[in-house]
Amino acid sequence: MTEVTLETIRQYVAGCKRCGLAAGRTHAVPGEGCPTARLMCIGEGPGYHEDRLGRPFVGPSGQLLDKILAAAGFSRQTNVFIANIVKCRPPANRDPLPEERQACLPLLLKQIEIVNPAIIVLLGATALKGLINPSAHITQLRGQWIEWQGRLVIPTFHPSALLRNPQLKRPVWEDFKHVIDKYRQLVNPSHHSDYH
Ligand code: URA
């Protein structure tokens, strides 16, 4: 049997028809970043810009995510892998349906297994519900560590929520400070952040 790699997943996703989202996509968005990242960020699904380019978090919320990551000493070029709960854009950016999340989840689980992050940041309610528990609430669980399949997961607000409500920037930065601390503890004691 051929080995499943990030590349074979990327190729599969490009032609995937496991759910109805395939019909409306320009490009599937498999995810990108450091293939051996010990930190993974998981969002909801591609929006307009991501669908156009086939890359995750490249629109306004992606620019904000990159800024937060940079402040915390992370980047997709060096030490983070970025993925989404669904790999194709839902029409008019609606939330992905439970059956769409279910159809896509095995691909994300495989990516997690291959990249093998120690820490996973869940960006927003859809990521929390999609990976951990469909009835979980982001407002209740954000900032709390969850042990999940031998990894540590922390939910926080989605960057697009921060763009709508800048007051959420402070709690999200608090959450990222926990991520930095945990990363120093588990991965790299000399991990550098300019701000923490
Ligand atoms: N929002 C997401 O959840 N994911 C992306 O890739 C872009 C925007």
- 57 ligand 1 Cβ < 6 A: yes
- Beta-bridged to residue 81, according to DSSP, are 33, 40
SS (H, E, C) 148-161: ECCEEEEEECCHHH
Exposure string of 118-134, with b = 16+ CB inside 10 Å and e = fewer, is: bbbbbbbbbbbbbbbee
- Condensed to tens digits (0 to 9), the pLDDT of residues 101-155 reads 999 999 999 999 999 999 999 999 999 999 999 999 999 999 999 999 999 999 9
Ligand 1: atom nearest CA of 160 is: 1
- 90 ligand 1 Cβ < 6 A: no
Residue with tokens 């839902």: 90
Instruction: For the chain, give every domain's residue range.
Output: 6-186
- Condensed to tens digits (0 to 9), the pLDDT of residues 26-66 reads 999 999 999 999 999 999 999 999 999 999 999 999 999 99
How many A from CA of 95 to the centre of ligand 1? 11
d(CA 124, CA 137): 9
- 130 ligand 1 Cβ < 6 A: no
Ligand 1: atom nearest CA of 126 is: 3
Q: What is the pTM of this model?
A: 0.98
What confidence category does residue 1 fall into, taking pLDDT thresholds of 50, 70 and 90?
A: low
Say if domain 6-186 classifies as CATH 3.40.470.10.
yes
- 43 ligand 1 Cβ < 6 A: yes
